[in-house]
Amino acid sequence: MSAPTTVAEPIVLDGVSKTYPSSDGEVIALSPTSLTIEPGEFVAVVGPSGCGKTTLLQILAGFVTPTAGSATVGGTPVDGPDPDRGVVFQAPTLYPWLSVRGNVEFGPRARGESRADRGERALQALDLVGLKDFADKRPYELSGGMQQRAQIARVFVNNPGIVLMDEPYSALDPFTREQLQVQLLDLWHRERKTIVFVTHSVEEALFLATRVIVMSARPGRVIADRAVVLPGDDQPGVRSLDVLGTPELAAKKAELARLILEAHG
Ligand SMILES: Nc1ncnc2c1ncn2[C@@H]1O[C@H](COP(=O)(O)OP(=O)(O)OP(=O)(O)O)[C@@H](O)[C@H]1O
């Protein structure tokens, strides 16, 4: 899909922390965190509620300014949102008055792309997520899973180098969730974008990612950073759902769950 020029670049967090003011004093949402994420990695961030996962993602998105430390992409400080860093939220944020295609075209249109170019790219993006036939529907005519796919198309149409996903599937039923997980893996295989995916689910993290970062309960800090290699990863093609039943995945899941529990104290 042709689009704004994207050069895949590493994400570097150097001693990034975040403290929020609150009525009971300050809340440390994120302890100093240093991480490098290479282009094309699929990184899952997992940890208990309130451990700062969303804060970390929002710092990468440029929505939140760190209290200390720096976040850079390709050496350039993150100082605000950028279409090269697409964000997929937990709840779809589609505009109800626009068609599905209108929603996907919204970004390119705001950047002044011609009607023909943006229309073609919107259809390509909808095709990527299997929604081409629903281009002219309104968001309310789609199921929750389809709305989430439309949201992913709205991000991919900008051809971002980095896709930031904040618990995108947690509100979906288990079947839809598995379907979208497989589709996301397929998309990642074809497009090789850098994906940072926040989830509560250790299993989801292990199934999707090439690397899992585990955070402790508040104040959040990184307690483990593991490469994920599962049976079949040396074969061409996308991971299959069969891997969920393997002893290797079960052992990794138990190990990471134990780490999170231990860090809980
Ligand atoms: N804007 C804010 N103002 C004050 N406190 C905040 C703000 N945003 C987050 N926090 C606090 O910072 C901590 C980390 O929140 P964050 O949303 O990053 O965690 P999380 O791991 O994503 O949680 P969850 O899994 O429940 O979504 C929490 O204690 C939260 O209450």
Strands 11-22 and 194-199: unpaired
How is 127-162 classified by DSSP, letter by letter?
A: HHTT-GGGTTS-GGGS-HHHHHHHHHHHHHTT--SE
Structure tokens at 196: 């940072």
Domain total for the chain?
Answer: 2
Q: Give 159 Cα–ligand 1 centroid separation in angstroms.
A: 29
Residue spans of the chain under pLDDT 50: 2-5
Q: Which residue lies with its CA nearest to atom 6 of ligand 1?
A: 20
Beta-bridged to residue 162, according to DSSP, are 85, 194
pLDDT of residue 236: 83
| Phi–psi pair at 41, nearest 5 degrees | -75, 150
Both 245 and 144 in a single domain?
no
- Please indicate whether residue 22, judged by its CB atom, sits closer than 6 Å to ligand 1: yes
Tell which atom from ligand 1 comes closest to the C-alpha of 52: 18
pLDDT given for residue 172 in this prediction = 82
* Statement to judge: residues 153 and 46 lie in one domain: no
List, for residues 24-81, the tens digit of each pLDDT value: 888 999 999 999 999 999 999 999 888 899 999 999 999 999 999 999 999 999 999 9
CA pair distance 182, 163, nearest whole angstrom: 16
Residue 37 sits in the same domain as residue 150: no
Tokens 């796919």, residue located = 149
Asked if the structure places residue 2 within a domain, the reply is no
Three-point CA angle 245, 248, 252, nearest 5°: 105
Give the end of a domain, one of 157, 180, 198. 157
Q: Are residues 183 and 68 part of one domain?
A: yes
pLDDT of residue 256: 93
Q: For tokens 């975040």, name the residue.
A: 18
Distance CA 183, CA 241 (A): 11
Residue 8 token pair: 């895949």
Nearest CA to ligand 1 atom 17: 54
Dist. CA 137 → ligand 1 center (Å):
35
DSSP notation for 31-89? EEEEEEE-TT-EEEEE--TTSSHHHHHHHHHTSS--SEEEEEETTEE--S--TTEEEE-
Does 27 sit in the ligand 1 pocket, CB within 6 Å? Answer: yes
* E-only strand ranges, 55-184: 68-73, 76-77, 85-88, 162-166
Task: Supply the residue whose CA is at minimum distance from atom 16 of ligand 1.
Answer: 52
Look at ligand 1, atom 25, and give the residue with the nearest C-alpha.
49
Substitution site in 55, 56, 197 for ligand 1 pocket (most atoms within 8 Å of beta carbon): 55
Among the three residues 157, 190, 207, which one is the final residue of a domain in this structure?
157
Same domain assignment for residues 59 and 133? no
Q: Are residues 29 and 149 in the same domain?
A: no
Range of the domain at 232: 11-84+161-264
For the Cβ of 28 lying below 6 angstroms from any atom of ligand 1, the answer is no
CA distance 117 to 257: 47
For residue 187 the two structure tokens come to 């998309």
**Residue 7 has what pLDDT?**
57
Q: Are residues 180 and 260 in the same domain?
A: yes
Does residue 90 belong to any structural domain of this protein?
no
Pocket test for ligand 1, best of 18, 19, 20, 31 (most atoms within 8 A of CB): 20
Rounded distance between C-alpha atoms, residue 92 and residue 152, angstroms: 9
CA distance 54 to 57: 5
**Ligand 1 mean position, distance from CA 54 (Å):** 7
193 C-alpha vs ligand 1 centroid, how far in Å? 27
Q: Please report, for the domain that includes residue 207, its CATH number.
A: 3.40.50.300
Instruction: Please tell me the distance between residue 180's alpha carbon and the centre of ligand 1 in angstroms.
Output: 26
d(CA 232, CA 203): 17
Is the same domain home to 210 and 248? yes
DSSP state, 220?
B
